[in-house]
């Protein structure tokens, strides 16, 4: 949407009051009812409806009457609110031409009262070419419902925080000045995007500088995730400035290595294609697997994280302070559990019965224990019993039936014994499945999801109650 600030000078205080009322109503309404806007604005004598018609004429709000009579803010109205607030703060006094456009933002020149030129970045998430932002970015975190204005505000706050922190640590980034809603004010970079540069005096030095920035960011705990020729500015002295930071993630992110390797690969491809760096091509073919520190391709695993990590300070995607505390607690509990578990294993191994004696009593040859790893489970003994005599097999089956269930005393028929074996195998599988789920839930530091049919487990004849009884008897 084209930003025309000429209408801004003709808007009155009541107009901005109604615009703010629509913004407040959009916190819990997709389309704000006209009655609610009137109630929040608090204008006398029905002046809200007259102001709404004026705002609708200037395309600052959108009218929707499909279900009820309501309004919502447009990006132009949101721009006017942010610009008005920053002008009242004295950040800038005038808005100039548009100097850049991207898939999720527009860049404009602004000037202060003393004539200093700054850059104003307006985030505009939700364009047709970039509507998968909910799945590709983590702006929402744990939230489910959203609108594009709110997502743009979150992206602006995130970029301002990253830019401020990186500038304080000496990275070549624009100077962050101020932020309001979806608008970020920063210093204007005197240079050109690297994608527009056809020749360089020292392409090798620029290439090494860019790779050094990627590694240095990783050492501070951050990965850019969009480090390419479009987000690198270079001036006449071949000094590098990095821009565009909302998508940055922590090195603790589960896909951090993939993002790091992708940034490195983008720089290699661009310099090989644009500036014909043949030495880098030979290095990629011959020396990429070498462990030398001279000219080898940067590796994510070889990056040493510095003491002061920015991902912890900024709660970057993939790493939060809460997750850090939980992870430290889990490591301590895991270490204690491992020590106690080793002692329990020693005691369990000392109390194990002799499998050879069991095999002798049941009439099973000694080779059975050797082939199956001296397994003493009831299922293996039941499966091996037909190899002996018929009388010994019946005795073994009866003994196993007494151990597994004391409720069923009639074990004379072979068909009943066969059914018991099938039920025991099914119960064993279910118990193993529940045990794996419990282990996975413990490693994931979350509670296992409760069953939807938990209210049915109270009965005596359910499968879960049978499983519990069999487990107690085992």
Mean pLDDT, range 294-310, rounded to an integer: 76
Mean pLDDT, range 134-156, rounded to an integer: 69
* Residue pLDDT, tens place only, 71-102: 999 999 999 999 999 999 999 999 999 998 88
CATH number given to 1-89 = 1.10.10.10
Tokens of 436: 């794996």
Residue pair 251/305 in contact (Cβ under 8 Å)? The answer is yes
Between the alpha carbon of residue 115 and those of residues 95, 111, 177, the distances in Å are 12, 6, 15
Between the alpha carbon of residue 347 and those of residues 340, 343, 353, the distances in Å are 11, 6, 13
Q: What is the pLDDT of residue 435?
A: 77
Q: What is the pLDDT of residue 356?
A: 40
Token pair 């540069």 in the structure block, residue: 197
Name the residue with higher pLDDT: 423 or 427: 427
Token pair 């030398």 in the structure block, residue: 292
226 is catalytic: yes
Please pick, among 226, 236, 291, 343, the residue that the annotation labels catalytic.
226
Question: Rounded mean pLDDT of the chain?
Answer: 75
Model confidence at 294, pLDDT cuts 50, 70, 90, reads very low
* Residue pLDDT, tens place only, 100-137: 888 888 999 999 999 999 999 999 887 654 545 555 55
Lowest-confidence pick of 20-24, 210-214, 245-249, 266-270: 245-249
Q: Report d(CA 356, CA 375) in Å as an integer.
A: 10
Q: Is 246 helix (H, G, I), strand (E, B) or coil?
A: coil
Model confidence at 218, pLDDT cuts 50, 70, 90, reads very high
Residue pair 243/215 in contact (Cβ under 8 Å)? The answer is no
Q: What is the pLDDT of residue 427?
A: 78
Q: At what angle do helices 414-443 and 463-473 cross, to 10 degrees?
A: 90
On the question of pLDDT at 446 being above 70, the answer is no
Q: Report d(CA 224, CA 226) in Å as an integer.
A: 6
Q: Report d(CA 421, CA 2) in Å as an integer.
A: 75
* Residue pLDDT, tens place only, 451-460: 444 444 444 4
Q: What is the pLDDT of residue 466?
A: 67
Tokens of 173: 């980034």
Mean pLDDT, range 309-335, rounded to an integer: 58
Residue pair 400/382 in contact (Cβ under 8 Å)? The answer is yes
**Closest listed residue to residue 467, CA positions, set 432, 438, 419, 436:** 432
Between the alpha carbon of residue 35 and those of residues 43, 44, 135, 228, the distances in Å are 12, 13, 35, 49
**Closest listed residue to residue 80, CA positions, set 158, 7, 160, 178:** 7
Q: What is the pLDDT of residue 368?
A: 38
């Amino acid at each position: 949407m084209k930003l025309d600030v000429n209408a801004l000078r003709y808007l009155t205080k009541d107009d901005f009051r109604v615009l703010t009322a629509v913004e407040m109503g959009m916190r819990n309404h997709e389309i704000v009812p006209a009655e609610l806007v009137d109630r929040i604005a608090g204008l006398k004598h029905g002046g809200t409806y007259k102001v709404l018609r004026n705002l609708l004429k200037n395309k600052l709000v959108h009218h929707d009457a499909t279900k009820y009579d309501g309004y919502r803010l447009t990006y132009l109205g949101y721009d006017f609110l942010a610009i008005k607030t920053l002008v009242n703060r004295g950040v800038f006094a005038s808005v100039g031409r548009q100097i850049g456009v991207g898939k999720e933002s527009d860049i404009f020149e602004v000037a202060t009262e003393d004539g200093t030129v700054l850059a104003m970045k307006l985030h505009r998430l939700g364009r047709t070419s970039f509507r998968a932002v909910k799945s590709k970015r983590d702006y929402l975190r744990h939230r489910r419902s959203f609108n594009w204005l709110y997502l743009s505000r979150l992206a602006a706050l995130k970029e301002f925080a990253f830019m401020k922190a990186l500038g304080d640590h000496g990275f070549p980034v624009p100077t962050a000045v101020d932020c309001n809603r979806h608008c970020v004010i920063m210093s204007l970079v005197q240079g050109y995007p690297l994608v527009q540069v056809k020749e360089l005096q020292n392409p090798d030095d620029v290439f090494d500088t860019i790779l050094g920035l990627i590694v240095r960011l990783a050492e501070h705990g951050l990965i850019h995730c969009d480090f390419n020729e479009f987000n690198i500015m270079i001036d006449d002295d071949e000094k590098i400035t990095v821009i565009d930071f909302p998508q940055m993630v922590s090195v603790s992110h589960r896909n951090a290595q993939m993002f790091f390797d992708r940034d490195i690969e983008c720089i290699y491809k661009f310099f090989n294609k644009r500036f014909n760096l043949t030495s880098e091509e030979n290095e990629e073919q011959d020396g990429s697997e070498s462990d030398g520190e001279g000219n080898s391709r940067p590796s994510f695993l070889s990056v040493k994280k510095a003491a002061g990590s920015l991902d912890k300070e900024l709660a970057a995607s993939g790493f939060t302070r809460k997750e850090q505390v939980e992870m430290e607690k889990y490591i301590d509990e895991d270490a204690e559990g491992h020590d106690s578990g080793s002692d329990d294993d020693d005691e369990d191994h000392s109390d194990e019965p002799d499998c050879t004696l069991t095999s002798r009593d049941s009439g099973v040859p000694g080779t059975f224990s050797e082939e199956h790893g001296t397994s003493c489970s009831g299922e293996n003994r039941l499966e091996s019993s037909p190899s002996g005599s018929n009388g010994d097999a019946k005795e073994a089956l009866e003994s196993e039936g007494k151990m597994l269930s004391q409720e069923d005393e009639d074990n004379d028929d072979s068909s009943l014994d066969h059914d018991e074996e099938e039920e025991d195998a099914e119960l064993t599988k279910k118990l193993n499945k529940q045990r794996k789920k419990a282990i996975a839930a413990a490693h994931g530091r979350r509670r296992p999801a409760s069953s939807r049919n938990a209210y049915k487990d109270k009965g005596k004849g359910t499968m879960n109650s049978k499983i519990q009884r069999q487990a107690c008897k085992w």
